[in-house]
Structure 1
């Protein structure tokens, strides 16, 4: 009897070890969901759109899209979420250039045909390459806009290089807090290699901050976005009934007004 118990315990420990080991080894496949194929061209999105290459400090060349606006009052650095590629952010580029803002759609490493593999450290290098490009090219004040995971990316950047305005869409407290919600059976905080501590970082940012979120977000709970806003002393824009990937967060008026407002451009 004792032998059977020990065998059963050994099997259980092995299964748990395999589950936890697999979660650790393949976690980035669950976090980062790139669409690897390259999109067509920035000029297909808007006349005057440019395909540009951003060079990171670790030597990667990242294809991205830049949409300069004539006599722009500001330039917006768009840091995307964890899925798709830059073509998914074309609607926000169109909406913001119509407000007289230049827009850079950053494409991370491993996304949209770019080399490399995404990670927290890697995305920090990618967004710095994007900022460097805009500093050289735009010659205007900069607004950082991050969606979901991208909120963590631009918040970390803002602790070192404060923008004129920072707009966070559906930000989470940190990656472990989101992971624990979706994988409650795993010790997510112990397993994660990437932390993305948005709440801790945002409290150190010296720039005006706006947090936009949906009240019915099923991916990042609205309470987490509100917690980030409280840590920042930020202005909040709640979109009633909106879920994480609803069209309102592509180019809806609440989002566009928040970003344009952060730039000083007039509302419409």
Structure 2
């Protein structure tokens, strides 16, 4: 009987493990791209809608400082990106916030490939419109987008809030029994690999109490950076969505003022 019990337990474990792998491989897009926002709310009427054949987003020109290209996270994130760039916009930095596919009237299915196509186009347009490379600013999921674009272009600077190492690393946080090797066929967002190709001044910010993206992953991304000018801001007590309540705007402004050429 004990042999039958072991066989049943082993079969159950195997079935659950296969289900785990199925979830990681095939359900990642549904878990990752949980977009649910409709653009800039009433508080953000200073921005104008910008739509082209290759990308869409929100645009505001407040001066002639280095432009900023913003890649946000997911739920509620367009407004979040707007609020987090108010101090920079007030100091004369034009701001463009990319709208992801699957949001704000764009019915394409989001994926790493499609998002990066839009992101590259937005970068090239913004750089040409202002005659200089922009600062790239990424928040949460947007930090992965920002790193990917920065690895292929030469931005004026890179700012990352709450970056993760990769989607698979995040998956293993939830499912520790997942294989140690990245098995995702797509939507991998491997920031930990891409960050080493970036030479632009790089600022990473992470809250010590972030319950969504572990603080250790943000620190790991920073340590993997090979930029000569880089800084890590550890926000003691900061969570995933409240870093700016700790006054990090001044830290960001100071870093950019010291490192922009």
TM-score, normalised on structure 1? 0.82
Alpha carbons 2:36, 2:74 under 8 Å: kept? no
In 2 relative to 1, CA 139–223 (structure 1 residues): closer, same or farther, beyond 3 Å? same
Asked whether the equivalents of residues 145 and 259 of structure 1 are also in contact (C-alpha less than 8 Å), the reply is: no
Moved more, 8-17 or 140-149: 8-17
Does residue 39 of structure 2 align to residue 39 of structure 1? yes
Deviation per CA, 1:85-130: give whole Å up to 9, x if none.
4233221232221121111111111123322122221221121121
> Hey, what's the Cα distance between the residues in 2 that align with 1:182 and 1:10?
22
The aligned counterpart of 2:215 is: 222
Contact (CA 8 Å) 2:25, 2:183: kept in 1 or not?
A: no
The corresponding residue for 1:236 is 232
Task: Indicate yes or no: 2:61 matched with 1:68.
Answer: yes
2:28 touches 2:187 (CA, 8 Å); kept in 1?
no
Matches within 5 A, 1:11-160: 13-35=14-36, 38-39=38-39, 45-47=44-46, 49-56=47-54, 62-70=55-63, 72-160=64-152
Q: Which runs of 5+ in 1 are unaligned?
A: 57-61
Q: Residues 72 and 80 of structure 2 are in contact (CA less than 8 Å); yes or no, is this contact kept in structure 1? A: no
Q: Is structure 2 residue 202 aligned with structure 1 residue 184?
A: no
Q: State which of 157, 161, 171 in structure 2 corresponds to 1:169.
A: 161
Change (3 A) 1:197 1:69: same
In 2, are the aligned partners of 1:78 and 1:145 still within 8 Å (CA)?
yes
The CA distance in 1 between the partners of 2:19 and 2:170, in whole Å, is: 23
Q: CA RMSD in A?
A: 2.9
What is the deviation of 1:15?
5.0
CA 228–21 in structure 1, closer or farther in 2 if over 3 Å, else same: closer
What's the TM-score, normalizing by structure 2? 0.84
Q: Within 1, Cα distance between the matches of 2:21 and 2:133?
A: 46
Deviation string for 1:52-93 (max 9, x for gaps)? 01433xxxxx431001113x2111101112333423322123
**How far apart are 1:162 and its partner, in Å?**
1.1
Q: How many residues align?
A: 254
Distance in 2 separating the partners of 1:107 and 1:90? 12
Q: C-alpha distance in 1, partners of 2:16/2:256?
A: 53
Structure 2 runs not aligned, ≥5 long:
none
Q: State the Cα distance separating 1:168 from its structure 2 match.
A: 0.9
